[in-house]
Chain A
Amino acid sequence: MTGDIIRPYGDTTGDGRIQVSFTLPVPFGTTTERARAEGAAMQLAVKMGLQPVMVVHAKGMGPDYTFFIVYGRVSHLVDLSEVTVTEREFPLLSSAEVNLRIRAGLGRKLVVVGACIGTDAHTVGIDAILNVKGHSGEKGLEYYREIRVVNLGSQVAVPDLVARANAEGADAVLVSQVVTQRDAHISNAREMAAAFEAAAPDFGAEGRPLLVVGGPRFDPAMAAELGVDKIFGKGTTPGEVASYLAYALAPEVPEEVQAGASA
């Protein structure tokens, strides 16, 4: 057997067993309704590729809906050789390594301006990346000695963000977008990128700052399409962002210095 072809693992290699839960808009009251509801759940599961199927739990929710938990065996195979992943183009560095790389490569503090733009008031994401306290056990960018953070908070207008980024001499602008109704995160990111592009001449010889957006619903592959330099999706930690900023903004440092840092 080739190691590239796999199936889900329940309790035995190759058993293909998985668990799914879902709701169907069917009643679960009378005996007939219950039988019909379970049958409906089985039909969906079979169409999803599960065979055999066990409906282990069905519960009526109000008069019109039923919730199901289903176990079954999928017939699908996963071919690992066909899996494509976006390789991280930058190395993950510790905070000490990030500081060192900025000091050696940039020779001054790296300035980051962060904000939630548009109507988005959800600062949880940007705060988790910027605040000292950080996220998932990693300290935020404020913790890095060689990074100066300006957190503008929520609902920042794009022109204000551009002006402030310029005034602070920002090397990078971090924008977080949580609200996604009607794809607001996409249009806001585009608007922001266009505004920085338009204002690029004002930023002097080095051009506009590096534009980084993040949020749970962004597709990291869309950076070019949105006109930004980098997109971070759900689960991004401050260390990843800091490593990326160091990689993108601080020129490579000589080998022996790097070796010294990790010692």
Chain B
Amino acid sequence: MQTRLNLDPSVVREARTLAAKAGQPIVEMARTHTTVSVERAVLRLAGLQGADPDGMPWVNRLTDAIRDTTGLEHGVALPAWDALLTGGFDDLASLAEAAAQGKVAFRIPAGSDAAAARAAASAALAKGIGKIDANRVQRQRMIEQTSEPRKPWIYLIVATGDIYEDIPQAQAAAREGADIIAVIRSTGQSLLDYVPEGATREGFAGTYATQENFRLMRAALDETSRELGRYVRLTNYASGLCMPEIASLAGLERLDMMLNDCMYGIIFRDINPRRTFIDQRFSRQIHARAGIIINTGEDNYLTTADAVDAAHTVVVSQLMNEFFGKEAGLADSQLGLGHAFEINPAVPDSFLLELAHAQLVRELFPDAPLKYMPPTKHMTGNVFAGYLLDAFFNLCGVMTDQSILLIGMMTEGIHTPFLSDRDLALENVRYVRDAAGRLGDSFVPAPGGFIEQRAKHVLAESIGLLQRINDDGLLNAIADGTFGITKRPADGGRGLEGVISRADGYFNPASEILETGNEAVRGDSAQAVPGSLEGAA
């Protein structure tokens, strides 16, 4: 695409180099550590499902039993498959059940026993990851049989707490024009160190992410996609303490997009930074393989900090998310980097500032399916003014060629949207898209003018911040409250006890397949997305 801001390519390169430098030590840490959730994800990918009578998943029971005996420094796979082979168990579920009763003597096998355990585990994981590969093919087939919606994709949220209520609402939203359905999770789920099982009908401000809920919703949206002749994508949240497991379930059940930020859990959920970064890398390897588009959470920074003052923290976080994402194997077309329209409308030239920020992000990440979030902070309860603000958000979105628009509700902050709120919101975005959808082609800010200068200023501030992060180290910068004001020390927050240093001989059959295989898979287009569709052949 043409540049409209006359950004200096060497400045952009410098920003990326600084982000890579800041992120590299984190990658090293992630390579040398594992977490309880990464190990449980391995078991889930191998097909272990179900829970004990108290609802605790078997993957937790088995992982805990191994941790209590051999430890997890070698990974869960070696002792688990060794016990499976030598103990005469039919499958992982019966092994887990026996392990939970303390009836299994786990060991780290050596010699030919180790080789046998490795081979069996690798075969099981190849089969599980094969399912993810098949889903990726199936998604492509579904898109060919229906059609790819035009951009920007319209993203709508459903959140009743009851999957059986969510389904008709999601189908209705799709019929009304939504291209993407996001099922918001129950608010407590990110701090649960297990993934609930089965279809769920109760949640707090959202619906639990479970494998069965994923399956039910994807099946319903497949039905609706065929009915509408348009592929409707499904989104959920790979975040919180079970990020790697939820990413795996998303791959197994053909979800299309996942919220998956490198720092969101740390800053907004007080999850331990190390835990988050380790979990995040594995999650993104899965997403890369599954052709899932990740959505990052930079919009959140602007809800706690001022959207003008903190504009550069968004860019810095996007660059970090890009670095970590690509390192884990994600293609540009899978990087749904986030940002938001959150400047106080009372600020003079606020719309010009929004245009500058949105265009800057578009030009920094020309091939990324950017996710643009509507105003929330300055939605006051004056629903009429809010409707106008949402229209300006939509206009900014189409002018700057954003890929995914989360649809703003005029009743934001008042209540969960009424049916009519959603309908009016869709009417708003349809009007703007139809009336001004091609305005972007003609929108060129005056060279050297206010918008260009503002964008360059934000980029310069981003470089300044990246330099400070490099001086300090990313973990220290997070501890100092660089992002989103909140201070999060590296040894604070929840989930640190689930971080384990890898021993020599650590074995993770999923990682082995993902790290060698993702390169090959990435040859074809990750997912047909706007902007990359033409080049994907």
Contact = CB atoms under 8 A, between A and B. Distances in A.
B161 A121 contact: no
A154 B268 contact: yes
B304 A121 contact: no
B191 A155 contact: yes
Given A127-B485, A179-B205, A235-B381, A133 B419 contact: no
A61 B176 CA distance: 8
A119 B186 CA distance: 9
Interface string B347-381: 00000000000000000000000000000110001
A119 B191 contact: yes
Nearest to B240: A121
B25 interface: no
B433 interface: no
A181 B269 contact: no
B204 A184 contact: yes
B188 A124 contact: no
A18 to B, nearest CB: 15
Nearest to B189: A119
Contacts of B377: 124
Contacts of A122: 187
B270 interface: yes
A118 B485 CA distance: 22
Nearest to A181: B204
Scoring A62, A121, A122, A234 by chain B CB atoms within 10 A of each residue's CB, the highest score goes to A121
Contacts of A151: 486
Interface string A1-29: 00000000000000000000111000000
B420 A121 contact: no
Nearest to A179: B205
B56 interface: no
B305 A133 contact: yes
A153 interface: yes
A51 interface: no
B268 A121 contact: yes
Binding site secondary structure of chain A: loop
B533 interface: no
Contacts of B346: 137
Interface in B265-287: 268-270
B204 A154 contact: no
A179 B486 contact: no
A216 interface: yes
A22 B268 CA distance: 36
Interface string B195-228: 0000000011100000000000000000000000
Interface residues of A, number: 30
A65 interface: yes
A215 to B, nearest CB: 12
A123 interface: yes
Contacts of A22: 420
Contacts of A154: 268-270
B161 A181 contact: yes
Contacts of B205: 179, 181
A131 interface: yes
A193 to B, nearest CB: 21
B269 A216 contact: no
A59 B204 contact: no
Nearest to A68: B420
A234 B380 CA distance: 10
B419 A61 contact: yes
A179 B419 contact: no
- Give the interface size class of chain B: 20 to 34
Interface in B474-533: 485-486
A235 B380 CA distance: 9
A38 interface: no
Contacts of B424: 67
B306 interface: yes
Contacts, number: 72
A120 interface: yes
Nearest to A133: B306
Given A122-B187, A131-B485, A62 B204 contact: no
B303 A121 contact: no
Nearest to A118: B188
A133 B481 CA distance: 14
A65 B419 contact: yes
Nearest to A65: B419
Nearest to B305: A133
A120 B189 CA distance: 10
B524 to A, nearest CB: 37
B131 interface: no
A179 B204 contact: yes
Contacts of A184: 204
Interface in A98-120: 118-120
A120 B187 contact: yes
A123 B268 contact: yes
A22 B424 CA distance: 12
Contacts of B190: 121
A90 B349 CA distance: 38
Contacts of B191: 119, 155
B420 A21 contact: yes
B172 A121 contact: no
Contacts of A59: 423
Contacts of B203: 181
Interface in B28-59: none
Nearest to A131: B485
Contact of B172 (A62, A127, A131, A137): A62
A179 B304 contact: no
B443 interface: no
Contacts of A123: 268, 304
Contacts of A131: 304-305, 485
Contacts of B303: 124, 127
B175 interface: yes
Nearest to B424: A67
Contacts of A65: 419
A23 B419 CA distance: 8
Contacts of B305: 131, 133
Nearest to A182: B204
B190 to A, nearest CB: 7
B387 to A, nearest CB: 12
Contacts of B175: 62
B418 A23 contact: yes
B102 interface: no
A179 B377 CA distance: 17
A188 B419 CA distance: 30
A121 B172 CA distance: 28
B413 interface: yes
29 contacts: A21-B420, A22-B420, A61-B420, A61-B423, A62-B172, A65-B419, A67-B424, A119-B186, A119-B187, A119-B204, A120-B187, A121-B187, A121-B188, A121-B190, A122-B187, A123-B304, A124-B303, A127-B304, A131-B304, A153-B486, A154-B269, A155-B191, A155-B269, A179-B187, A181-B203, A182-B204, A184-B204, A216-B413, A235-B381
Interface of B: 161, 172, 175-176, 186-188, 190-191, 203-205, 268-270, 303-306, 346, 376-377, 381, 413-414, 418-420, 423-424, 485-486
